[in-house]
Structure 1
Amino acid sequence: MRWQGRRESENVEDRRSAGVPGLGGLRLGGGLGIGGVLVALVLSWLLGINPLTLLGMMEATGPAPDSRSVPAQSLPADDSMGRFVAVVLADTEDVWNQLFSRAGADYREPRLVLFRGATATACGRGQAAMGPFYCPADERVYIDLEFFDTLRQRLGAPGDFAQAYVIAHEVGHHVQRLLGITDQVESMRGRVSEAQFNALSVRLELQADCFAGVWAHHAERSKQVLEHGDLDEALRAAAQIGDDTLQRRTQGQVVPESFTHGTSAQRARWFRRGWEGGSVQACNTFEAREL
């Protein structure tokens, strides 16, 4: 991915040197990030813990400290990974500002928080074990950059564009928040069965994948950001974090009714759909007969 020397977003908060005591869980209202289920399954396999038990611990409700009270610092000049994240975030800002403007609306840019270990969020205590996640309550994306090591080393999804896809996916959740989609899905919690809500969650996640593809489409058209092999990197990352692939790797069996993010084939398919058409309207997973 061509990213060096390009505009960096001013919406990045660096909390990596600001330790936050305590290890309370991230509340369900904040939602699991793209790597939340992944990391839970990997840890359950390593530690011999029932993955459902571990997920329950990670989703436990805790006090929600004000994330704005946590000190943030500017990115160090020699922090190439931090600057890469800032460039990708800037690209998402440019694309979504343009698309919202075309629709006669204003895009409210999210902030992206870099942290290490744990940090305060408006959705409860955020932990690196959750993987990257979006908190709708404070409209921030949270990333511990060590997740990218997991993506590369343990999951076989290397490459800077694979990492850009992860960021764009979480920003896709912010777009869903602004469009009111997140609130509509969350309003169904407790009103439908667990299996039915999981199915809604899958459609929400696949739409965020499609929105990531929309970003890639427009970023490439306006800035020619892609290099040879970049698209394959994103598709490989999407496939490696499909529910079926993760469950097969960590549990040895696949339980479709427990899916919350979609299969490998579905995730790659919806990213590609956003990439090929660049259309937000084409990302309506909630009315799709087949995912």
Structure 2
Amino acid sequence: MRWDDFRSSDNVEDRRGGGGGGFQMPGGRGGLGIGTIIVVGLIGWALGINPVVLIGGLEALNGLGGSQQQSAPPPSRQSQPSKPTDEMGRFASAVLAQTEDVWSDIFRADGKTYQDPKLVLFSGATRSACGGAQSAMGPFYCPLDQKVYLDLSFFNEMKRKFNAPGDFAAAYVIAHEVGHHVQNLIGILPKVQQAQARASSRAEANALSVRVELMADCLAGVWAYHANARFRILAPGDVEEALGAASAIGDDRLQKQSQGFAVPDSFTHGSSQQRVSWFTRGLKSGNMQQCNTFQGAI
């Protein structure tokens, strides 16, 4: 993937030295898994308390383990944007800059203004407006502060544990989280929150989570389409890297690896085939209107 001759984003907070997938629940703690978070949401619904936000989840990674609580650095050290100087930090910053350029153009064409998210790079643990974050949770987007949280060691785990190496596979992960930000800006996430509050079962709540994640996969594909058209970022084999990553982190594959069988009602991110299919849809069409995974569900 071509990236090192592009600009870096000004919207990076480098907290390293001082974790989460998908979408982190405001007030959640770093070690919570998706099942716990959904149960908490359903308890809130049962008691007539509207859950603060939908879907937690171990983004792109249910099985990286590590539920230990880690201390986070004080907030005073977390507020200043800074451009990273190491290679992986510069890569993440360049990918974020490309998402800014692409989504600004897409929103402008629709008569809207895109609001850039922030990218927080951290090591081990940090704090977000959605609660504690830990490396073991994987990357996540917090809608309360509109920031993507990423421990760059996650990309080593992708390579080591899931055989999903490569720059474009890593870019897909960042673009997926930015896809959640796009969902937030266009009002999808609040609508899903309301739908989850009305959910009659855990399986129904899970199904809404899957729709959110697959839409974010599709939006990542839309970004890739436009980034390549504008910047010519793709090299031979890059698309296969992203498809390999999407397949590696499907719920069915992760569950079979961890417990020997898959339970579709417990899926929160979608099967390998679904994730590949929706990313491919966005990549081929370049049209975010093709990414509607809800079709009247909310």
TM-score past 0.5 threshold: yes
Selected match of 2:157 from 143, 150, 154: 150
Unaligned runs of 5+ in 1: 45-53, 59-63
Between the aligned partners of 1:270 and 1:163, the Cα distance in structure 2 is 17
**1:281 equivalent in alignment to 2:289:** yes
Structure 1 pair 288/277, CA: closer, same or farther in 2 (3 Å)? Answer: farther
Aligned residue pairs, count? 265
Unaligned runs of 5+ in 2: 19-27, 38-52
Between the aligned partners of 2:65 and 2:177, the Cα distance in structure 1 is 22
**1:96 equivalent in alignment to 2:103:** yes
**1:227 equivalent in alignment to 2:235:** yes
Deviations, residues 154-212 of structure 1 (Å, cap 9, x unaligned): 10001000000000000000000001101111112342111101101101100000000
Selected match of 1:215 from 205, 223, 233: 223
User: Are the counterparts in 1 of residues 57 and 268 from structure 2 also a CA contact under 8 Å?
Assistant: no
**1:32 equivalent in alignment to 2:39:** no
Structure 1 residue 287: deviation in Å?
1.3
Selected match of 1:253 from 246, 254, 261: 261
Residue in 2 aligned with 1:191?
198
Between the aligned partners of 1:260 and 1:174, the Cα distance in structure 2 is 18
Q: TM-score, normalised by structure 1?
A: 0.85
User: Are the counterparts in 2 of residues 207 and 284 from structure 1 also a CA contact under 8 Å?
Assistant: yes
Selected match of 1:114 from 117, 121, 144: 121
Structure 1 pair 76/135, CA: closer, same or farther in 2 (3 Å)? Answer: closer
Deviations, residues 247-283 of structure 1 (Å, cap 9, x unaligned): 0011111000000000000000000000000001000
Between the aligned partners of 1:206 and 1:66, the Cα distance in structure 2 is 35
Structure 1 pair 270/66, CA: closer, same or farther in 2 (3 Å)? Answer: farther
Equivalent residues in 2 for 1:64-143, closer than 5 Å: 70-72=78-80, 74-77=82-85, 79-143=86-150
RMSD (Å) for aligned C-alpha atoms: 2.4
User: Are the counterparts in 1 of residues 252 and 272 from structure 2 also a CA contact under 8 Å?
Assistant: yes
Segment of structure 1 superposing worse, 273-282 or 189-198: 189-198
Structure 1 pair 163/288, CA: closer, same or farther in 2 (3 Å)? Answer: farther
**1:268 equivalent in alignment to 2:293:** no
Structure 1 pair 190/133, CA: closer, same or farther in 2 (3 Å)? Answer: same
Find the residue that maps to 1:226 and give its secondary structure.
Answer: coil
